[in-house]
Structure 1
Amino acid sequence: MRAFALVSSVALAVASVSHADIFQYLDCDGNGTLLLTELDAEPGVDLSGLYLGCADLSGTDLCFALLFNADLTNANLSGADLFGADLTNADLTNANLSSVTLLGAILPGANLSGADLSGTGLDFANLFGADLNDANLTSANLSNANLSGANLSGADLSDAFLLSANLSGLRSGGIVGTPDSLPSEWSLISGYLIGPSADLSGADLSNADLFNAELTNADLSGADLSGANLFNADLSGANLTNANLTNADLSTAYLRDADLTNADLSGADLSGTFLDGTTICPVTDQTGSCCTNSGCASISESNCSAMGGTWTKDGSCDDCSQAFCSGDTTGDAIVGFDDLVIVISNWGACP
């Protein structure tokens, strides 16, 4: 009887220790032991700043756990519950997070490159500035998630849900698969997520079909847009400095307050383009100053003519304010019958 009680006590102690301790499934750090910490993997546990590489945390309940600055590289968290957990700046490189609950989790600045997030619930999660490069997000739920400033380059978004997600300042490129849903005004084109305030600096969008694209305040600095179809695209406030727009179709596009400093517009179609407040100066040897009703552009004479503007080879954008009078609605430097027709056709109360 006494022996039985002793054995039972030992078994209970071992069970308690195994429950409290967190072990590696593989000796990734090479220190000769699989024990990582004697802290319990339980809701609200503070594991911040700890090395948990290759930790076996599959199926654990870590709701509201503190894991900020923790090193979870190659960790197995499949099926775990991380509802509301704080993973700020945590390193989850190549971690297995498949089918994990991360609803409302806090992950700003987290490194999730190469992580498996397939089927994971990330709705309402804060992923501001997170690195999701080459991550597997197949069938992941990212609806209403904050992905502003995040990096999704090379990520697999097959059947992923991104409805109402915040994608402002998002970097992308080389995206695999087709998402199930995207926020309004966003689309997936040539492997890039295209939308308002997107970070597309240096992007290769040559010959891309960006017809009617919504790119207000987008960063397209240094982007290759040669031969791209930007017909009727909204590029208001966009940064297009040093962009390559050779032979691009920008007809009827909106470029109000856009910055095209040093952009290459050789052969671009700018007919009907709205240029109010657009910055394209200074004038170069290949281009001149083109004054239109909607502003000034430093472009070729042929493009200026297509826009109905007045071109001066050595002119300055400063001259544009005198180029047209208020009654010249057509922009041909003449107030005449055609201007009157436009006024009459738009007669009545403004909408």
Structure 2
Amino acid sequence: MRSRSGLIVALLLCLPLLAHAQRAGSVGGCDIRRGTLCTNANLNGADLTGVNLANSQFTRSDLSGANLSGATLNEANFSSTELTGTNFTGASMTRINLRAARLGQAKLVDADLRNAVLQNADLHQADLTGARLANADLTNARLDGAILNNADLQRANLRAAKLKGASLVGANLQGAILTRASLVDADLTGANLDQAIFLNAQTEGCTGCP
């Protein structure tokens, strides 16, 4: 009788894990696994917490409002993907391809985006507090109103990036390229600007700009 009770307790404890495995196994007809190919997929609002999608391809898919917190997305391809309001808190996203992706109001707090490709990406009002963006390519990215407080942007390419009203308080911009970037009304209070390049940058109303 005691062993039977123990089995029931064990099954009850495993139910949440089984439910998560089912969610992560197949969502919207897409096989959720490392290296998967899910172009033009609809995963709007999907719960993908902690999944491993490294080397996967989700080009032109819709993951708006999805939860990818703690996920592994290294070297994945999310170019031209809809990611508005998506949660990437603490996600590992090194060398990810987010070219022309739409990440407006996305949550990327403490995300690891080193060497990420974010050319022409839309990150307006996104929260990148504490994010690691060293060597990331943010050429012509839209970052209006984005929060980049304490973010690591060492040697990041922010050429022609739109940072109007963005907050970069305490950010590390050492060696970053901000040529022709718009920093109108941005806040760089306490930021590390050592060797950063501000050639032809628009700095009207910017706090902490050189």
Cα distance in 2, alignment partners of residues 35 and 196 from structure 1: 42
How many angstroms does 1:42 deviate by? Answer: 1.2
Q: What's the CA shift string for 1:146-178, capped at 9, x where partnerless? A: 000101110111100000011111111111251
Q: Tell me by how many angstroms 1:17 deviates.
A: 2.4
Aligned AA for 2:201?
A
One-letter amino acid of the counterpart of residue 18, structure 1: R
| Aligned residues between the structures | 180
1:124 aligns with 2:135: yes
Larger fraction in strand: 1
Matching residue within 187, 197, 202 for 2:200: 197
The equivalent position to 2:70 in structure 1, one of 54, 59, 62, is 59
Counterpart amino acid of 2:187? Answer: V
Q: 1:134 aligns with which of 145, 153, 162?
A: 145
Q: Distance in 1 between matches of 2:19 and 2:54?
A: 22
Runs of 4+ in 1 over 4 A off after TM superposition: 11-15, 33-37
Q: Distance in 2 between matches of 1:199 and 1:142?
A: 19
- Name which of 151, 173, 184 aligns with 2:162: 151
Query: Separation in 2 of the partners of 1:56 and 1:185?
Result: 34
* Distance apart, 1:138 and its partner CA: 0.3
Equivalent position of 1:299 in the other structure: none
Using a 3 Å threshold, how does the CA distance of structure 1 residues 57 and 35 change in structure 2: closer, same or farther? closer
**Structure 1: unaligned runs, 5 residues or longer:** 24-30, 187-194, 214-351
Distance in 1, Cα, partners of 2:192 & 2:45? 42
Aligned AA (1:129): N
Name the CA shift for 1:177/1:102 in 2 (closer, same or farther; >3 Å): same
Structure with greater contact order relative to length (CA < 8 Å, sep ≥ 6): 2
Q: 1:180 deviation in Å?
A: 2.4
**For residue 109 of structure 1, what is the aligned residue in structure 2?**
120
Aligned-pair distance for 1:45?
1.0
Query: Counterparts of 1:130 and 1:84 in 2: how far apart (Å)?
Result: 16
Q: Does 1:18 align with 2:18?
A: no
* Structural RMSD (CA): 3.0
* Alignment equivalent of 1:162, drawn from 173, 186, 203: 173
Give the AA of the match of 2:62.
Answer: Y
Per-residue CA distance 1:13-63 (angstroms, 9 max, x = gap)? 75532223469xxxxxxx9x85589xx751011111111110000000000
User: How does the TM-score come out when normalised to structure 1?
Assistant: 0.46
Tell me which residue corresponds to 2:37.
Answer: none
Asked whether the equivalents of residues 82 and 103 of structure 1 are also in contact (C-alpha less than 8 Å), the reply is: yes
What aligned pairs does 1:1-351 form with structure 2 within 5 A after superposition? 14-21=19-26, 34-35=45-46, 41-184=52-195, 195-199=198-202, 203=204
Change over 3 Å in CA distance of 1:134–1:35 after alignment to 2: closer
Scaled by the length of structure 2, what TM-score is found? 0.76
CA distance in 2, matches of 1:118, 1:204: 22
The whole-number CA distance in structure 2 between the counterparts of 1:113 and 1:91 is 9
Q: Which runs of 5+ in 2 are unaligned?
A: 1-6, 29-41
Shift of the 185–142 alpha-carbon distance from structure 1 to 2, 3 Å rule, reads: closer
User: Could you say if the C-alpha distance between residues 69 and 36 of structure 1 is closer, same or farther in structure 2, counting changes exceeding 3 Å?
Assistant: farther
User: CA separation of 1:168/1:36 partners in 2, compared to 1, >3 Å: closer, same or farther?
Assistant: same
- 2: CA distance between counterparts of 1:114 and 1:122? 17
Distance 1:43 1:174, change over 3 A: same
Structure 1 position 197, deviation (Å)? 2.6
The amino acid across from 2:87 in the alignment is N
Contact persistence 2:45–2:63 (CA under 8 A)? no
Contact 1:161 / 1:179 at 8 angstroms: preserved in 2? no
